[in-house]
Structure 1
């Protein structure tokens, strides 16, 4: 593991209340120099405490400050990691997760977290143009790249047309592949509505970020070549790991 080589100035000479800010500054400088590259785990709190000659409470304050600046993320039970650079994802007429990642030079896919059947509420029935309380397939899906979570979503599909879609997505990691298997060779994005908001605890946990860090919410509707809605989704993107680019190309 790489090591922190700063701290040339003795911390004991600084006022005690400034120890954590000095340590945060030293770690931030090491990150900017590339000593700790994106995605790398920092030394443990115990190791950092020994390195800087302070207690673990001081180290926790330093790491919390770096987290609030978006430089690191703290994963409970795993450690503290340098944040990845933001991935530029396209929201276009034909929006595909795999294609967006390929264009960014990354690898990743979709992971089905939960699946259930439910009755369409007003918003879902309106978006999918189905009768109120019609049966829908609902998937909670995590989108990742290089092992990092980029977004989590709730996706609704009309039944019985898309029965079994959840199993195909689970096997392939691709909504597009599942659609193709079920007879939808092509589909397009009808609309995307983007808002910024704060995440709830569940969304923040899936994205491995604090609830104090904003996210981007996108509500979208996809339609088949006949113009029939086939998917209504609400997607929450990690605001510090994702840049959304909206294009108007055919």
Structure 2
């Protein structure tokens, strides 16, 4: 006959359950507070599970449960074979008629700039020539550019400009961190975006490296054409946006 009365041996196990639960919830709250105070800034890798277990005086299973809770809240992300990282902030970038990196970040209360990482002279491919309205094999200025906010890369782009019209533009962009300033130095006081095409894709290794993200994390890919006030194409760009740091909003009234 089976007894329905709990034995003394079963009582400690039942009474310990809330205590174990309180450990992982308290640790999760402590880590969340540390993230909020900037102890672990966006993009930083947390100490290992072993190190955290020693820090909090618990086993690794408890730490794993705390981290899983913070991952479910969107505060952390786990990267296979690399570790657990503080989730990086997401910036809403508007793709409007007037693309201005500085202005968009300022509206979001952030500081950022464009950085030229490479420049070269290339012959236009068929796609580039078609976008810029120039003959195939025409000479173009190509700039590889990183756009950042608060030191975090948001996008990497390949930008093509017709030559000889924009000869020397790279020097102005390098000095000012602004494509707009580069255009102004070449007599273009205003320009607008004619079109943008947006797709999602997996980045190749060089792009992922520039964005400081794994190749297994998707990016938003945008092809765009900018024109001057006479509707003459002045820039064709291929831009890869870090998918976990940016959202793209297409604005029709800008």
**Is 1:44 aligned with 2:62?**
no
Alignment partner, residue 165 of structure 1: 169
The verdict on how the C-alpha distance between 1:42 and 1:131 changes in structure 2, with shifts beyond 3 A counting, is closer
Post-superposition shift, 1:191?
Answer: 0.1
**2:76–2:84 CA contact under 8 A, matched in 1:** no
The verdict on how the C-alpha distance between 1:127 and 1:26 changes in structure 2, with shifts beyond 3 A counting, is farther
Q: Secondary structure at the match of 1:143?
A: strand
Post-superposition shift, 1:88?
Answer: 0.7
**Is 1:213 aligned with 2:212?**
no
Cα deviation, 1:128-173, whole Å, max 9, x if unaligned, reads 0001000000011000000111000000000011111111111100
Superposition RMSD on alpha carbons, in Å? 3.1
Post-superposition shift, 1:200?
Answer: 1.3
Q: Secondary structure at the match of 1:189?
A: strand
Using structure 2 for the length normalisation, give the TM-score.
0.77
Q: Secondary structure at the match of 2:217?
A: coil
Post-superposition shift, 1:119?
Answer: 0.2
The verdict on how the C-alpha distance between 1:201 and 1:145 changes in structure 2, with shifts beyond 3 A counting, is same
Larger radius of gyration: 2
Q: Secondary structure at the match of 2:105?
A: helix
**Is 1:9 aligned with 2:55?**
no
Counterpart CA distance in 1 for 2:167 and 2:54 is: 57
Counterpart CA distance in 1 for 2:122 and 2:45 is: 43
Counterpart CA distance in 1 for 2:27 and 2:144 is: 36
Alignment partner, residue 14 of structure 2: none
Counterpart CA distance in 1 for 2:239 and 2:215 is: 16
The verdict on how the C-alpha distance between 1:119 and 1:96 changes in structure 2, with shifts beyond 3 A counting, is same
Counterpart CA distance in 1 for 2:162 and 2:27 is: 50
**Is 1:71 aligned with 2:101?**
no
Gaps spanning 5+ residues in structure 2: where? 1-18
Cα deviation, 1:43-82, whole Å, max 9, x if unaligned, reads 5337336336678xx98xx79x959x782487x99x9652
Cα deviation, 1:8-48, whole Å, max 9, x if unaligned, reads 739xxxxxxxxxxx98x9876555x3321373545533733
Using structure 1 for the length normalisation, give the TM-score.
0.78
**2:196–2:225 CA contact under 8 A, matched in 1:** yes
Cα deviation, 1:184-233, whole Å, max 9, x if unaligned, reads 00000000000011111111111111112111001000000011000000
Task: Please point out which of 189, 194, 214 is paired with 1:185.
Answer: 189
Q: How many residues align?
A: 223
